[in-house]
Copies of this chain bind each other. A is one copy, B any other.
Amino acid sequence: MENEITESYITMPAGFKAAGVACGLKTDHGNSGPMDLLDLNMVQSDVPATVAGVYTKNLIKGHSLQRTIRVIDAGAKIRALVVNSKNANACVGPKGYQDAVAIAEAAAKELGCSPDEVLTASTGTIGIRLNEEKVMAAMPKLVSSLSTDAASAHAAEKAMMTTDTVPKEVSAKLTLSGGKEITIAGMAKGSGMICPNLGTMIVVFTTDAAISKEILQPALNKAVAHTFNRVSVDGDTSCCDMVVVFANGVSGASIEAGSEDLALFEEALTSLSLDLSRMIANDGEGASKFIEVVCRGAKTAEDAQLIVTAVAKSPLVKTAVFGEDANWGRIITAAGYSGADFDPEKVDIRLAGLLVCKNGQATDYSEDEASELVKQHDIKIEIDINQGDFEDRMFSCDFSYDYVKINGSYRT
């Protein structure tokens, strides 16, 4: 699926509005600059929407996220999502959940809907109580700012960014079998476990197709599996990670179970997830390089995953890529300790397209050529273990001085 749209934003599907405002959470911590101060957003559907979600597997879950999971599991249709940045609303005790409830209630009051139709999400510092009064005081302004226009949608994206350096917005238009057109849009904030504390990946998709929850949830699971679940900035998993998709049906087009339209929708959702995943890895904290790790020829899907995960997370591989060092020994070593079962003497490795290792030993590649190739921004690492038919892939980025700087700085 090629994406022919030049500008993307979350309100492109019919019947969605968005807004991003500054409620003062970022000011609390001494930030400055008008765009830097956006810290509260809302995505709203004109009509109740079907919502599916995928969440962090971390045992520690933020209070806003805990509430969202409960609301989605309860099965009601959803009108809006409120996201604040700068504070994760996590590990602060019973007040944390109460704050999330209070925020949903304030939003519901302004929107004229039930609090059970409002989702909540938070990203930022853990263990410090959210200043929920600031959030609630800003609610009338947030809701009155809701708009379908691109500027409001971009503001919504910026309001949930933390150490992200670029906005991450995607969209696609699909023509279904009956000739009806639907739109899918998505926005994301980065997955680096981010200064001041927890970065959190938050991804929101909207679509104006009508889709039942029974098929929307599996479609999202499928889309996430080899995209967002294959991004590693630093290997840490935040307590607030969340991907949600809103389907409001305003286009008048409906997608049915088992249909070709569903296959088309799943393909598009996966493709957009892939695009956002690449953007997230590319914008990893302090990243100077984008890394794609591919494993082929594994005996099992699990082995392929173990290998791409170990290589993508290895600090030594990540620092070597930062240093533009064609250091394939660290790659095969990471594969070796991954826990996957393979014969070291059958391993082939391509680094930036160059075959540097064949049957587990160095080829007679030119170090000069390798050194030139690893100067590129996008570095592909391909590991073929030649033992079977399974493959997997993971997106990552390098470890730079800036990564240490960003993550070593004090939580202010």
* Residues on the B chain within 8 Å of A361, using CB: 91-93, 127
- A56 nearest in chain B by CB position: B337
User: Are A234 and B315 in contact, CB atoms less than 8 angstroms apart?
Assistant: yes
Complex alpha-carbon distance, A322 and B322, angstroms: 20
Contact of A342 among B59, B327, B344 (CB under 8 A): B59
Q: Is A90 an interface residue (CB 8 A)?
A: yes
User: Are A411 and B325 in contact, CB atoms less than 8 angstroms apart?
Assistant: yes
User: Are A357 and B127 in contact, CB atoms less than 8 angstroms apart?
Assistant: yes
* Residues on the B chain within 8 Å of A330, using CB: 126, 193, 197-198, 236
Contact of A403 among B58, B319, B329, B359 (CB under 8 A): B319
A128-B362, A334-B236 known; A198 vs B329 contact (CB < 8 Å): yes
- A234 nearest in chain B by CB position: B315
Majority secondary structure of chain A interface residues (helix, strand, loop or mixed): loop
User: Are B333 and A236 in contact, CB atoms less than 8 angstroms apart?
Assistant: yes
* Residues on the B chain within 8 Å of A407, using CB: 315-316, 319-320, 323
Q: Is A48 an interface residue (CB 8 A)?
A: no
Q: Is A328 an interface residue (CB 8 A)?
A: yes
Q: Is A167 an interface residue (CB 8 A)?
A: no
- A334 nearest in chain B by CB position: B236
Q: Is A258 an interface residue (CB 8 A)?
A: no
Q: Is A84 an interface residue (CB 8 A)?
A: no
User: Are A404 and B408 in contact, CB atoms less than 8 angstroms apart?
Assistant: no
User: Are B314 and A362 in contact, CB atoms less than 8 angstroms apart?
Assistant: no
* Residues on the B chain within 8 Å of A128, using CB: 362
Contact of A237 among B127, B237, B337, B357 (CB under 8 A): B337
Q: Is A219 an interface residue (CB 8 A)?
A: no
* Residues on the B chain within 8 Å of A313, using CB: 235
* Residues on the B chain within 8 Å of A337, using CB: 57-59, 236-237
* Residues on the B chain within 8 Å of A126, using CB: 329-330, 332-333
Q: Is A60 an interface residue (CB 8 A)?
A: yes
User: Are A316 and B236 in contact, CB atoms less than 8 angstroms apart?
Assistant: yes
Contact of A362 among B91, B319, B328 (CB under 8 A): B91
* Residues on the B chain within 8 Å of A408, using CB: 319-320, 322-323, 325
Distance in angstroms from A56 CB to nearest chain B CB is 8
Contact of A93 among B315, B341, B359, B400 (CB under 8 A): B359
Distance in angstroms from A188 CB to nearest chain B CB is 20
Q: Is A146 an interface residue (CB 8 A)?
A: no
- A325 nearest in chain B by CB position: B410
Q: Is A88 an interface residue (CB 8 A)?
A: yes
Q: Is A238 an interface residue (CB 8 A)?
A: yes
Query: Can you pick out 16 interface pairs between chain A and chain B where the beta carbons lie within 8 Å of each other?
Result: A60-B333, A60-B360, A61-B344, A91-B344, A91-B357, A91-B361, A92-B362, A193-B316, A237-B336, A315-B315, A316-B407, A320-B408, A322-B408, A371-B410, A400-B404, A401-B401
Given contacts A127-B357, A127-B361, 15 further A-B contacts (CB under 8 A): A58-B333, A59-B341, A91-B329, A92-B361, A93-B359, A126-B332, A193-B333, A198-B330, A234-B315, A235-B314, A236-B314, A315-B315, A323-B410, A325-B411, A401-B405
